[in-house]
A and B are shown apart, each in its own frame.
Chain A
Amino acid sequence: MKLIAGVDIGNSTTEVCIGSVGEDGSFHFLSSASRITTGTKGTLPNVHGIKAALQEAMDHIRQPLEALDLVRLNEAAPVIGDTAMETITETIITESSMIGHNPSTPAGAGEAAGYLIHLENIWKGKPDVPYIVVASNKFSYEEVAARLNQHIPELDIRGLILQADEAVLVENRLNRQIPIIDEVRHIERVPEEKLAAIEVALPGTGIRMLSNPYGIATLLGLDAEETKAVTPIAKSLIGKRSAVVIRTPNGNIRENVLPAGEINFHGTQEIRVNIDTGADTIMDSLHKAGEIRDIDGQQNTNVGNMLNRIKKSMTDVAAEGDHEARITDILAVDTMAPVEISGSLAGETCMEKAVGIAAMVKTKHLPMQKIAEKLEQELHIKAVVAGVEAVMAALGSLTTPGTRLPLAILDMGGGSTDAAVLGTDGSVRTTHQAGAGELVTMLIQTELGLGSRTTAEQIKKYPMGKVESLFHMRLENGSMQFFEESIDPRYYGHVVLLAPGEMLKVEEDIPMEKILEVRREAKRKVFVRNAVRALEKVAPDHDLRKIPNVVLVGGSAEDFEIPEMLTDALAEYRIVCGRGNIRGTEGPRNAVATGLLMSYLSNK
């Protein structure tokens, strides 16, 4: 009897599987284990992680490491993925012409128009002129209220703009009901003596007058030409709880298209496409270019730098003398990013258009042979490189109960989405596509405006809940969870992520519904689109309907919602698609390691 190990080195984890082969060819799976990959996939530091994983698997069956007769390594797919983001519009306010934000507690309701006057100059005010008073935070709420009350009998005060968060406090001490906006951070930039319109929305609604061009025209007395000019202002104020629009002769708000650079496709055809044309045009151009030899980008743009960066990192790990790292696929996705408007008065943000791009580098092959030699040296066990990763994955996936040939696998990892079809005659077609888990993380981070990538990664991985009291939270599917011990007050009112064994707080104040929508949309944009793209490439005659089974494997197949999304999307093509269950026990993991053992048998 012989003990054989299959070893799969992936981008993030190293998986091993151990089986025994009898003299009569009988075969049994005995044990498996998984460890984090040490170093970049396909480099010598991997040996450390392989040894640890082998040790763990052998411990399960109470055998020493030396009892192994043979180690079979996968020929890891020589691909590395990376992502970049290019913002293609920016919004600029000139001459401080508007304020539009969502202070948590403005006061009063309704709209008013008047000339701006700072509180310290209010004694200069003339009767019969309507005023909107501007007060910086050097005045306490009591001072503001007292000064206004003193002047209210002789002056026509219509509204108030505050720097401090004290709108309700001032309102409660004022003798007249006026709309009050607070939390205007850069109040010193508000110009004096200009005509301005102010509006505070009724509770539960957004503003109505200032988000309507004719509303602004009514309040500020604009003619048709001027009304046309304020339309972008009205548009950017839609949905806000409070707003100020200031009439300045040259003041405006405009959307700039930024020079985002170009991507060059070197394929059957040479095609050059500008990134600011959007994801659909980029993907169409990619399609038109035919068989892609290489892709590069304009120097000193985000995308150009990213494409150079992954080429370099691939050249670094590739075998000596093999400097031929080429980018063979990209995936572009349209997205929106909340960016602070330049020239803003209260930190207003505007959703800017952006394009997220994932790219994939391919080289001839990785120096797997060196890893095998090193392993043999250190363990004194024969080690061989056997079998291409995608083929082994397909073989291993065939152990999922309920599958038959022809069988397709979708291996969804962090950097790339790989597909393979194993035909009834044993033929295999494979493809590697750019865009997977890491692109999803980047989309989540951008669209929610998150400060850290780790938070985005966690949002992608874990379901959420909102802590509604110190003893219960509402989960994202609407159900409630109760606690015997009180929850730490730091979590109170926040959205938390339910990681195994702990709760992670989302620092940003974003409603749970919004996070849910962005998370699902990002996964759908990347994985559903890529799954169809990849399967079309490998399907017989490029017809999806000719594939009866798709088995999902790899890290992203363990996600709590991606497999369901794909099952749903592929049902359209009458494909049976679901998360793999290798050997009926392993779930979507260990497919390659299992395949390596199975291929040993068929080789004999």
Chain B
Amino acid sequence: MIINKPTVIIYTRDPDEDLLREICAGIEEEGVLYEIHSGKGDMDTLAYEAAKDSMLGSGIGMDGRRIAMQMARLPKGKNVFELNAPRFWQCRNLGSNSARAVKKMPFKPIYTENGEMSL
């Protein structure tokens, strides 16, 4: 696949649309572009391939309600963040973080409750 836009790439397999929408909102709020494609393989593969194919070196893999964020040159399976059937605010922040990885900003919390917004 030839990629020539500076985007965060999301590879999905049968994704939960509500969670996906929150991820995209997180990326959008940070002012970064993204694209979504359906792909093959498990979550680790999807995330790994997404990060590899992204010109910005940041990608997300989504398999149903399981989500992983990955960055280029990290080994497959060693995901930066992983969520399983998460809540909306976690997806929002995971999306933000994939954009922040590009902007070289500190990540938002995605596991602990103190980062929770009333979403």
A interface residues, Cβ below 8 angstroms from B: 104-105, 137-138, 141, 164-169, 172, 468-471, 486, 489-490, 492-494, 509
A493 to B103, CA, bound (A): 9
Given A486-B78, A492-B107, do A141 and B117 touch, yes or no (CB 8 Å)? no
Given A166-B29, A470-B74, do A137 and B107 touch, yes or no (CB 8 Å)? no
Given contact pairs A105-B29, A168-B30, a sample of 8 additional A-B residue pairs in the complex whose CB atoms are under 8 Å apart:
A137-B118, A164-B117, A167-B29, A169-B29, A470-B80, A486-B74, A490-B107, A494-B106
Contacts of A104 in B (CB 8 A): 105
B interface residues, Cβ below 8 angstroms from A: 25, 28-31, 71, 73-74, 78, 80-81, 100-101, 104-107, 117-118
A470:B71 contact, CB within 8 angstroms = yes
B81:A105 contact, CB within 8 angstroms = no
Task: Return 17 A-B CB contacts under 8 Å, by A number.
Answer: A141-B25, A165-B29, A166-B29, A167-B29, A169-B25, A169-B28, A470-B71, A471-B73, A486-B74, A489-B80, A489-B81, A489-B107, A492-B80, A492-B107, A493-B100, A493-B106, A509-B106
* Minimum distance in angstroms from A107 CB to a CB of chain B: 9
Given A105-B30, A105-B31, do A137 and B117 touch, yes or no (CB 8 Å)? yes
A492:B29 contact, CB within 8 angstroms = no
Instruction: List the 10 closest A-B pairs by CB distance, nearest first.
Output: A493-B106, A489-B80, A168-B29, A493-B105, A494-B106, A169-B29, A137-B118, A486-B74, A493-B104, A168-B31
Contacts of B104 in A (CB 8 A): 468-469, 493
Interface centre among B28, B29, B31, B105 (most CB of A within 10 A): B29
Majority DSSP secondary structure for residues of B touching A: loop
Interface centre among B71, B80, B106 (most CB of A within 10 A): B106
Contacts of B25 in A (CB 8 A): 141, 166, 169
Given A486-B78, A489-B80, do A172 and B106 touch, yes or no (CB 8 Å)? no
A168 to B100, CA, bound (A): 15
* A-B contacts, CB under 8 A, total: 49
* Minimum distance in angstroms from B51 CB to a CB of chain A: 11
Majority DSSP secondary structure for residues of A touching B: loop
Smallest CB gap from B57: residue in A: A469
* Minimum distance in angstroms from B53 CB to a CB of chain A: 18
A455 to B33, CA, bound (A): 37
B117:A165 contact, CB within 8 angstroms = yes
* Minimum distance in angstroms from B97 CB to a CB of chain A: 9
Smallest CB gap from A469: residue in B: B104
A492 to B30, CA, bound (A): 17
Interface centre among A138, A141, A486, A509 (most CB of B within 10 A): A486
Contacts of B28 in A (CB 8 A): 168-169, 172
A105 to B26, CA, bound (A): 11
Smallest CB gap from A104: residue in B: B105
* Minimum distance in angstroms from A165 CB to a CB of chain B: 6
Contacts of B31 in A (CB 8 A): 105, 168
Contacts of A141 in B (CB 8 A): 25
Smallest CB gap from A470: residue in B: B71
A469 to B118, CA, bound (A): 31
A492:B74 contact, CB within 8 angstroms = no
Contacts of B118 in A (CB 8 A): 137-138, 164
A601 to B29, CA, bound (A): 75
A470 to B71, CA, bound (A): 9
Given A105-B31, A470-B74, do A492 and B106 touch, yes or no (CB 8 Å)? yes
Contacts of A489 in B (CB 8 A): 71, 80-81, 107
A585 to B29, CA, bound (A): 58
Contacts of B107 in A (CB 8 A): 489-490, 492-493
Contacts of B106 in A (CB 8 A): 492-494, 509
A137 to B119, CA, bound (A): 8
* Minimum distance in angstroms from A493 CB to a CB of chain B: 4
A165 to B71, CA, bound (A): 24
Contacts of B105 in A (CB 8 A): 104, 493
